[in-house]
Amino acid sequence: MRDILPAMEASPRTLSSAWRDWLAENLIRGVDPERLRTTLVDSGVPAGEAEARIEELASSPALRVGRAYAVYAERLHHVLSLERTAERLSPTPGEIERIDTIDADDFYRRYVATSTPVIIEGIARRWPALSRWSPRHFAAAYGDVELTMTDDRESDPYYDARTAEHSRPILMRDYVKRVEGATGETNDFYLVAQNRNLEKDGLAPLFDDIHFPEGFLNMDRVRGGSALWFGPAGTLTPLHHDCSNILFTQVYGEKELKLVSPAHDRLFDGALSMYAMVDPAEMEDALMKTARLGPGDTLFIPVGWWHEVRSVAVSISLAFSNFARDVSFDWYRPGDVR
């Protein structure tokens, strides 16, 4: 039975709407009607009124439907609890597995199909980008390219969800000056995925500097299925989930990521679409996995996994969703369900 009881007016003649909601919720949950009657009477509700309202609600078709959905939800809760419990059986539950290399078949079988994060250290090891890309290289080679950046982020607690409102045009050379001129850490400006800078013709030569092993990605869709992240130390992408699988490659600098399994459904409480409003640290059973990525590290982030991303230093990263196989989950938007 729900512990928090509605406020009670002195000597009520009829049950208030707050008490009716409380009564309906507990009947849907399967609480014994006699127990509910006792609580109502002990709280000052006349016995006749308490009994009449319990009988009225208990005989409602809406209550029967609500009870059926409550049973369904409870079963799903058990399934998710099972997944959360199993997650902790790993000898290193807070770590993400690191491997040197893997072929595409094993990658899809062992990690994509099981929704398991993994860091692949060797997949980008020989990219020309690793030895070439830097803020200075970007300024020299692409200085005249007009980018879209997000600015004034620190003035808005929902800066990432409102990227469009914070987007501004800027030339690459001017953006690099801002990055190099930043003192200490800042989250105020950033080139992010939603800016869609990799779709600009002027940056097309960047794709000549990256080479994935055969079978991982569909390179015919790379310009629409990839994203550039470039910013100073201290940038923070808040805890959120994506609606697709992601391969995230660190090219320059370092980033720290925290990941939480989608089995932790409490993160949807009050969620702003795909952005969590609940701190996992305040959840009793939340298991957070951490990953520190350096140049050449590629992290597989399975669809639905919550993740927070912080730049430890000036950072250039790439994110890819153009997988070679059909792993589309654009329908996965549980935060939008109301």
Q: pLDDT tens digits, residue range 243-276?
A: 999 999 999 999 999 999 999 999 999 999 999 9
Last residue of a domain, one of 89, 124, 155: 89
Last residue of a domain, one of 89, 120, 149: 89
Beta carbons within 10 angstroms of residue 71's beta carbon: 12
121 and 183 fall within a common domain: yes
**pLDDT value for 6:** 67
Dihedrals phi, psi of 16, to nearest 5 degrees: -70, 165
Query: What six digits make up the tokens of 46?
Result: 């006349």
Counted domains in the chain: 2
83 and 111 fall within a common domain: no
Q: Is the pTM of this model over 0.85?
A: yes
Last residue of a domain, one of 33, 67, 89: 89
204 and 307 fall within a common domain: yes
Dihedrals phi, psi of 132, to nearest 5 degrees: -105, -45
Cα(239)–Cα(276) distance, rounded to whole angstroms?
A: 6
Contact 238, 154 (CB under 8 A): no
Contact 287, 216 (CB under 8 A): no
56 and 97 fall within a common domain: no
Strand, helix or coil at 146?
A: strand
Band of pLDDT at residue 7, cut at 50, 70 and 90? low
Query: What six digits make up the tokens of 273?
Result: 């679409």
Among 109, 139, 104, 105, residue whose Cα is nearest residue 123: 104
For the cut 90, the answer to whether the pLDDT of residue 281 exceeds it is no
59 and 191 fall within a common domain: no
User: Looking at per-residue confidence, does 237 or 12 come out higher?
Assistant: 237
Tens digits of residue pLDDT in 194-233: 999 999 999 999 999 999 999 999 999 999 999 999 999 9
Contact 255, 262 (CB under 8 A): no
E runs forming strands in 223-336 = 226-231, 236-240, 246-252, 255-260, 288-293, 298-301, 306-311, 315-320
For the cut 90, the answer to whether the pLDDT of residue 315 exceeds it is yes
Report the CATH number at residue 240.
Answer: 2.60.120.650
Of 58-62, 270-274, 284-288, 310-314, which one has max mean pLDDT? 310-314
Which residues constitute the domain of residue 17? 1-89
24 and 70 fall within a common domain: yes
Strand partners, 318: 228, 249
Cα(106)–Cα(109) distance, rounded to whole angstroms?
A: 5
Q: Which amino acid is present at 49?
A: E
194 and 306 fall within a common domain: yes
